């Protein structure tokens, strides 16, 4: 009987742990621009390209042409979205948005070559 109670207790504890621990990991703020970009952006922007609209890529030439070549402009697009670009306000913190925006501009200046 005692073994059965311990088994039930252990099972409940493990289930709660498995439910809560991924939530805690997701809630942690990401601080690396490359990591944020990989998780949230690379699906549409692999290597700075754009799989939805080719001319709206993240290369410096396109950013300048579309007047999105400053940190404030990139932060605005990431935060509020535009046309097919999803808004990330509420999905990312302000710090994460700034970090990934800085990463995008750094990569654009490097022509999306790995440093």
So where are the chain's domains?
Answer: 1-29, 31-109
Tens of each residue's pLDDT in the chain, 115 residues: 665 665 565 455 555 555 654 444 454 566 799 999 999 999 999 999 999 988 889 999 999 999 999 999 999 999 999 998 999 999 999 999 999 999 999 999 999 986 5
CA angle (101 as vertex; 99, 31 as ends), nearest 5: 15
Exposure of 111 in the CB half-sphere (CA atoms within 13 A): 0
CATH topology classification for 31-109? Cytochrome Bc1 Complex; Chain D, domain 2 (1.10.760)
| pLDDT score at 5 | 67
CA quadruple 76, 74, 96, 53: dihedral sign: positive
| pLDDT score at 31 | 77
Per-residue model confidence as pLDDT tens digits over 70-79: 999 999 999 9
Rounded alpha-carbon distances, angstroms, from residue 14 to 8, 10, 21? 10, 6, 10
């Amino acid at each position: 009987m005692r073994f059965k109670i311990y088994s039930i207790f252990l099972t409940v504890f493990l289930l709660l742990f498995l439910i809560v621990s991924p939530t805690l990991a997701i809630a942690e703020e990401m601080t690396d621009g490359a990591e944020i970009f990989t998780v949230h952006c690379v699906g549409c922007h692999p290597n700075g390209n754009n799989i939805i609209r080719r001319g709206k890529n993240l290369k410096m030439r396109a950013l300048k042409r579309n007047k999105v070549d400053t940190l404030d402009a990139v932060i605005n697009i990431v935060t509020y979205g535009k046309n097919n670009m999803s808004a990330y306000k509420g999905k990312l913190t302000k710090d994460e948005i700034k970090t990934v925006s800085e990463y995008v501009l750094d990569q654009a200046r490097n022509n999306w070559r790995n440093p």
